[in-house]
Amino acid sequence: MPEESQFLYLSRDDVEATGLSMAAIIDALEAAFTEKGRGQVEMPPKPGIHPGHGDNFIHAMPAYIPGLQSAGIKWVSGYPGNPEKGLPYISGLLIFNDADTGIPLAVMDCTWITAMRTGAATAVAARHLARPDSSTVGILGCGVQGRSNLEALNVLFPLRRVLAYDNTPANARAYADEMSERFHVTVEVVDAPRDAVSGADMVVTAGPILKTPHATIQAGWLDEGAFASLVDFDSYWHPAALHEADLFCTDDTPQLRHYQTMGYFKDIPDVHADLGELATGQKAGRTSPDQRTFACNLGLAMDDMAVAPLIYRRAVSQKVGTWLPL
Ligand SMILES: NC(=O)c1ccc[n+]([C@@H]2O[C@H](COP(=O)([O-])OP(=O)(O)OC[C@H]3O[C@@H](n4cnc5c(N)ncnc54)[C@H](O)[C@@H]3O)[C@@H](O)[C@H]2O)c1
């Protein structure tokens, strides 16, 4: 057990070794969003710095969720140029504090948590916004998020078929091999973005986030009754395609407004509800099978802080990680 003057360091491998399941992460996020809907989460909009040029960022993401005994902060970077240097796009660390004393209990790598919780947030939204019989998923951007979002949707939906598009075709092929074996679904690599959108019950766009969207997906591509998760914000969607939404939701409206002040989301539909309002039932999700529904989850500090205590408790009980002096 920890001494008062020690904290637990968990590497990326340590975090994964705790074996926390996607199903448990989805449940933790649903519980956290229920707390948020009740006004029980403290989470200021994330401040960030933008070193170098282009779309590089490093964000500070603090949150306190009393109901989950969770307090802490994630310090996470996204550098679009990293993959061509053989480095991950996303990297960072999370500090988990004792909510009663403020003392740091753990410092952990946050890349696995970021991937998993983002997929889980899509699944929480889909539980309220997608048709329960959704079985075909379109994935645009077959990277880390393309994988974790599929993993999460596979927990809640009877998936059979995946339509995979990546502008680097080798990435889509590697994805198809890996995902079909892992989840026992048919994965078809498609050559054009439209073929991953039309005909899908659920669509996840997970390419680069751009302040000026490339806006490839046009009005008329998304089927009636489909659900879309905009992991890469509105980058992939033409405004006319977004305005076909019957329900346009987000994870946190104040943070969406905050991004708008920074120049993102110049032309999006009105927000119907945030995930807290959907989780508590204050606002209804899908009410008919032919609605087009959208979740534009920005990725919140509370997502990470819903997961961190679960990782910490498992690591302590499994004796995973390295205790270090404070
Ligand atoms: N909303 C959130 O909570 C959240 C959280 C984490 C990451 N993200 C975002 O998700 C996106 C994906 O992150 P990742 O870690 O999976 O990155 P990644 O580098 O692992 O994967 C991105 C994939 O997209 C492909 N790609 C690039 N441009 C494309 C295009 N126009 N069409 C199709 N595919 C394209 C790349 O070839 C690559 O395979 C990033 O924009 C990231 O900022 C969002």
Ligand 1: does its nearest atom lie under 6 Å from the Cβ of 206?
yes
| Chain centroid to CA 13 | 20
Q: Looking at ligand 1, which residue's alpha carbon is closest to its atom 15?
A: 144
Say if residues 256 and 233 touch (Cβ distance below 8 Å).
no
- The tens-digit pLDDT sequence of the chain (326 residues) is 555 699 999 999 999 999 999 999 999 999 999 999 999 999 998 789 999 977 899 999 999 999 999 999 999 999 988 988 999 989 999 999 999 999 999 999 999 999 999 999 999 999 999 999 999 999 999 999 999 999 999 999 999 999 999 999 999 999 999 999 999 999 999 999 999 999 999 999 999 888 889 999 999 999 999 999 999 999 999 999 999 999 999 999 999 999 999 899 999 999 999 999 999 999 999 999 999 999 999 999 999 999 999 999 999 999 999 999 99
Closest CA to 256 of 294, 299, 227, 293: 299
Q: For residue 208, how far is its CA from the centre of ligand 1 (angstroms)?
A: 5
How is residue 47 written in tokens?
A: 């401040």
Return d(Cα 216, Cα 208) in angstroms, integer. 13
Question: Reading across the β-sheet that carries 247-250, which strands appear in turn?
Answer: 186-189, 161-165, 136-140, 202-205, 227-230, 293-296, 247-250, 273-274
- Token duo for residue 36: 């948020």
Name the nearest CA neighbour of 246 among 203, 213, 295, 198: 295
- Can 74 be counted among the known catalytic residues? yes
Q: Kindly state if the Cβ of 78 falls inside 6 Å of ligand 1.
A: yes
pTM: 0.96
Given 36, 46, 74, 85, the catalytic residue? 74
Residue 250 Cβ < 6 Å to ligand 1:
no
Q: Are 194 and 221 in contact (CB under 8 A)?
A: yes
